[in-house]
């Protein structure tokens, strides 16, 4: 069982277009509304693949009711904490041939009772499913930076494995609580070790000629030692690196022309957990197979226009190359 917690869910409206010009009226070719939030995306991908998962999230207002309806339509199991504060709406613009643009609404601050109720739901789920994974994923509303760390401690108390994909103060607090796994992108990973990945040249190399893969693997090993856990870092077109106390690995899929990269990191993490969540800790399949599946699912997600497609169905795990790094 994989329990996902999304502190700041949202409705995602995605527009696709052949072109976009700033300062004029643009016409979208399609407009789609989906239930969203990083943990929601992970649970959706897992549910589509038949992997057991429950999404836990706060919902409020008409937007929250709409989001719940969408999850029900997609047969994504979820448990919601109801609040009077409306769930946010985010906007994505996917234009052919250019990077995807996303505008996220701010996460509304929620009453403290919401987090108490949410922790109670997660506690009940972990009690029902020994050996589960607990994932806290996405941004955290103002005043709730403690939540990922609280969830890590809760998972530890029940013998569950914990994973975090967040940022800012919430991530720093989570690192101090020592989760079993964190899942940053390469920019977030670099920031954790005081580096600036934006300073790399167009080929992804630093001034000394080191590649993004080698740099990210080194950063991941540093953070892994800091938390006594594992790091799964997404590198965009360069695949992903994984590091734990036993070493580091790189996985990459054949190149594709992406349609929409939003949610690809969530799909990658879902792919990893779909394998790791069904094996005992330390089992070989929890690494090689999980890493290959992760990159295959992430690549598949880039080939569909939204975040609600069945990424497992389009994934080619056999095409992913996994190698151990020095």
What average pLDDT does the segment 14-41 reach?
Answer: 92
Half-sphere exposure of residue 226: CA atoms within 13 angstroms, side-chain side = 17
Catalytic residue chosen out of the listed positions 244, 266, 310, 316:
266
In this prediction the pTM is 0.89
Pick from 319, 323, 1: nearest CA to 158: 1
- What phi, psi does 37 have (nearest 5°)? 120, 140
86 by Cβ neighbours in 10 Å (0-12 / 13-18 / 19+) ranks as middle
Query: pLDDT for 203-228, tens place per residue?
Result: 567 666 688 999 999 999 999 999 99
Determine the pLDDT at residue 284. Answer: 46
How far, rounded to the nearest angstrom, does the alpha carbon of residue 224 sit from its chain's CA centroid?
A: 18
Confidence label for 262 from pLDDT (cuts 50, 70 and 90): confident
Quote the pLDDT of residue 155.
Answer: 98
To the nearest whole number, what is the mean pLDDT of the chain? Answer: 91
Dist CA 86 CA 301 (whole Å)? 28
Distance CA 119, CA 16 (A): 37
Alpha helices in 132-284 (DSSP H): 147-157, 168-177, 186-192, 212-227, 264-276
Mean pLDDT of 242-249: 93
Mean pLDDT of the region 19-33: 91
Positive or negative CA dihedral for 94, 259, 88, 137? negative
Question: Is 203 a known active-site residue?
Answer: no
**DSSP code at position 13:** E
Looking at residue 96, its pLDDT comes to 84
Are 56 and 135 in contact by the 8 Å Cβ rule? The answer is: no
For residues 12 and 67, what is the distance between their CA atoms, to the nearest angstrom? 9
CATH number of 2-19+29-325: 3.40.1190.20
Residue 279 has pLDDT above 60, yes or no: no
Residue 285 pLDDT: 46
Task: Kindly report, residue by residue over 79-126, the tens digit of the pLDDT.
Answer: 999 999 999 999 989 898 888 888 989 889 999 999 999 999 999 999
Rounded Cα gap, residues 326 and 320, in angstroms: 19
């Amino acid at each position: 069982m994989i329990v996902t917690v999304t502190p700041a869910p949202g409705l995602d409206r995605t527009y696709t277009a052949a072109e976009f010009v700033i300062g004029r009226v643009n016409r979208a070719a399609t407009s789609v509304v989906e239930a969203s939030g990083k943990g929601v995306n992970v649970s959706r991908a897992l549910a589509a693949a038949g992997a057991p998962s429950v999404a836990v999230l706060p919902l409020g207002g008409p937007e929250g009711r709409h989001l719940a309806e969408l999850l029900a339509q997609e047969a994504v199991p979820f448990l919601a904490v109801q609040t009077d504060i409306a769930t946010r709406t985010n906007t994505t613009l996917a234009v052919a041939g250019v990077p995807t643009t996303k505008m996220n609404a701010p996460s509304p601050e929620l009453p403290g009772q919401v987090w108490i109720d949410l922790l109670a739901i997660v506690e009940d789920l972990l009690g029902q499913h020994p050996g589960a994974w607990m994932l806290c994923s996405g941004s955290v509303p103002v005043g709730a930076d403690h939540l990922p760390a609280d969830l890590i401690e809760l998972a530890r108390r029940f013998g569950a494995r914990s994973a975090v994909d967040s940022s800012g103060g919430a991530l720093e607090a989570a690192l101090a609580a020592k989760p079993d796994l964190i899942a940053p992108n390469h920019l977030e990973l670099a920031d954790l070790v005081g580096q600036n990945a934006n300073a790399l040249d167009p080929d992804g190399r630093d001034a000394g000629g080191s590649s993004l893969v080698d740099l990210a693997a080194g950063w991941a090993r540093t953070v892994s030692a800091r938390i006594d856990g594992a790091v799964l870092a997404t590198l965009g077109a360069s695949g992903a690196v994984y590091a734990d106390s036993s070493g580091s690995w790189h996985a990459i899929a054949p190149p594709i022309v992406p349609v929409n990269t939003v949610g690809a990191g969530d799909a990658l993490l879902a792919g990893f957990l779909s394998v790791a969540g069904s094996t005992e800790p330390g089992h070989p399949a929890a690494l090689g197979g999980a890493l290959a599946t992760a990159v295959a699912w992430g690549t598949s997600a880039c080939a569909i226009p939204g975040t609600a497609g069945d990424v497992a169905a389009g994934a080619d795990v056999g095409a992913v190359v996994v190698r151990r790094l020095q």
